[in-house]
Structure 1
């Protein structure tokens, strides 16, 4: 008879699990008070994420019906089916969903985690930032001292911390900055694309300084880093996207949502082409989402917030595994 596993007990302690339940209840009460409808959508889909930086878990379906023998994918976000609900007239909606991302593990990552995602019809990304600040401040009050929230553009944080204009910089200048900052070089960095270099500098040179003692919203991302957002014309055009940081921890990612089906298809195709250039397989695009966009997505803004990371902040924990009952190594 095999020996019983030694690590059968939960990682998160009882106080943390009770805090998690309290924050979930307060979140649901917040959205009920704001007349935002809670919904549930499938975790399995015939489509997968095309983003070359995200990897879906896949499973073959062997049951009856038209899906027999086909691959199904666990969602990395409930975004696409939620947008189908929006296009069908649901109005403002939210979801607290388990989501799955292959290859993500570490102090701030678990391959299965909880995402709070919501969409506000008639909002742009600036209006949604205001509501995100209201919710997060309410949930963290009394547990984490916070100064007044701030909003900084993507350009401002690079100019403030690295003396670079991210919208005008060259790969050569970025590579020099990486070296000057003492950041370890990632093998295979491209010499014809600034985005991987900007991301490396953001995550290793700037991120830890963001949101210290406050909510810091970063907005106006490069158009090339906003695959699901509307673009604002200009020189350069900018993506109507934001991220939220608290004490150096990325907490949320939001968009003034793209509603153009043709443009969204082009972006999916471009992402699959980028996957091919990296030796990755192309992923099936979500034709149901594209059909919903063709039918008409209402003007809206949406945001995905890492709920486990929010619990980390509220509980004063340093690792995501400390706020999950059974993280991946004990699942």
Structure 2
């Protein structure tokens, strides 16, 4: 097996050597492809196919990568792949000239070419281009994976996304959809009167979520800072300043593990709207999901794996207490003390830490018994105050907050509050978080004095929501893992 592998590597090395020799020959003959500055493209492949009736017999100019090539004496066929797909070209010696035909025959799979010619249909009915010119625009010095087997090694696919995009059209389609999804979100929010803003990524106090931050250092200021873990606290400052509807779509960074649904850096949409509450955010959230699905996919019936997700009907709304009762048959409504909560956890063999309080236990029960049951869109409302340091308490029950999370396909897709705007209450919550930090909770928030100062100037009643863009893209592209929707996911270095 080792000898076979060594033999294959020697074959590859020889092929790579031949490609560099071809490049040198071109350069020696004054035909260096890397010196070409531009090429005028008039059409893309799918555009030609979609408009064949009007383009037949007309001259077009395309550019792309040679994916297959069949040389047959005086005439040949090649298949060129561009942004939209691929199209066949018929290349005849008598049409492009003998010297140019010799150059074409030396071109390799993976080379980038420009082709001019007339649109026609072959005897077998394939829409093609009858080439009058084939121009080498860039030489490929590497060898693409064998087309029949494709690029299937996921580790290589993620590390070499450029090759993945070349070899797997469905991957390219996913990332084209991702771009359209983000554009659609912007279009909807802009139409609702929201203003897009940008806030700092390097911050002295990383707050707004329960997460461990990355740390770095400003040389010029000689100060330690953090990469942001959320967008929340700066966007709320803008609400204080009178910008009544704001949103940001940006990268956030959390120093945590990797999984099929977690990447240490990811894209988050956060928006804040003055003079509304978490019910307003529920309505907005539903509308955003429906709008984006309809605009990008043309339907609100989403196929994810073997399940059809219905985004058209009203999303189910359950309190966390009711959800634990519905799916685990545990009545938490009568629990009054931490000890009672821990007794229930013990009974159901749910692990907790000594520092955990009643609200923490409820959340652990929810995570253990309920999350996996939430396939169709469901708002889980009224989270315990212990796990919601930035949400308003419910006036009717201060043990709980006006907060919800949206779950679809067992995943949290959004997190929203009636935002806490009482600076005195907020300081007490921050200080409680500081106590947790002192007990070893690396995800707890710290007191943010400038944010408290902003609240003391007066923040109107406000609704806020965060939506994970990557998970939304996973849902709308039927992608099982977050790495499938990140162009360049976090990977361990090969030399480590």
| TM-score, normalized by the shorter chain, greater than 0.5 | yes
Deviation at 1:70, TM superposition (A): 1.3
Matching residue of 2:215: 58
Deviates more, 1:9-18 or 1:201-210: 9-18
Question: Which whole-Å CA distance do the structure 1 matches of 2:192 and 2:277 have between them?
Answer: 17
Match 1:40 to one of 183, 189, 198:
198
User: Against the structure 1 CA distance between its residues 285 and 121, is the aligned structure 2 distance closer, same or farther, given a 3 Å change threshold?
Assistant: same
Question: Which whole-Å CA distance do the structure 2 matches of 1:196 and 1:279 have between them?
Answer: 13
Higher radius of gyration, 1 or 2: 2
Question: Which whole-Å CA distance do the structure 2 matches of 1:192 and 1:135 have between them?
Answer: 35
1:8 maps to 2:174: no
Question: Which whole-Å CA distance do the structure 2 matches of 1:192 and 1:218 have between them?
Answer: 21
Higher relative contact order (CA 8 A, sep 6+): 1
Deviation at 1:276, TM superposition (A): 0.8
Q: Unpaired runs of 5+ in structure 1?
A: 180-184
Deviates more, 1:269-278 or 1:137-146: 137-146
Deviation at 1:122, TM superposition (A): 1.1
Give 3-state SS (helix, strand or coil) of 2:315's partner.
Answer: strand
1:109 maps to 2:109: no
After TM superposition, the score normalised by the length of structure 1 is 0.88
**CA RMSD, aligned part only?**
2.4
1:83-117 Cα shifts (integer Å, max 9, x gaps): 11111111111110100000132111000000010
User: Against the structure 1 CA distance between its residues 95 and 233, is the aligned structure 2 distance closer, same or farther, given a 3 Å change threshold?
Assistant: same
Match 2:184 to one of 26, 46, 69:
26
Deviation at 1:168, TM superposition (A): 3.4
Question: Which whole-Å CA distance do the structure 1 matches of 2:489 and 2:261 have between them?
Answer: 12
Deviation at 1:240, TM superposition (A): 0.6
Matching residue of 2:427: 265
User: Against the structure 1 CA distance between its residues 251 and 50, is the aligned structure 2 distance closer, same or farther, given a 3 Å change threshold?
Assistant: closer
After TM superposition, the score normalised by the length of structure 2 is 0.60
1:252 maps to 2:409: no
1:119 maps to 2:272: yes
1:231 maps to 2:399: no
Match 1:309 to one of 444, 460, 471:
471
* Contact residue 378 and residue 408 of structure 2 kept, 8 A: yes
Give 3-state SS (helix, strand or coil) of 2:383's partner.
Answer: strand
1:30-62 Cα shifts (integer Å, max 9, x gaps): 0111011011111111112386x4101110111
Matching residue of 2:250: 97
* Contact residue 50 and residue 285 of structure 1 kept, 8 A: no
* Contact residue 252 and residue 268 of structure 2 kept, 8 A: yes
Deviation at 1:280, TM superposition (A): 4.9
How many residue pairs align between the two structures? 314
Question: Which whole-Å CA distance do the structure 2 matches of 1:227 and 1:281 have between them?
Answer: 12
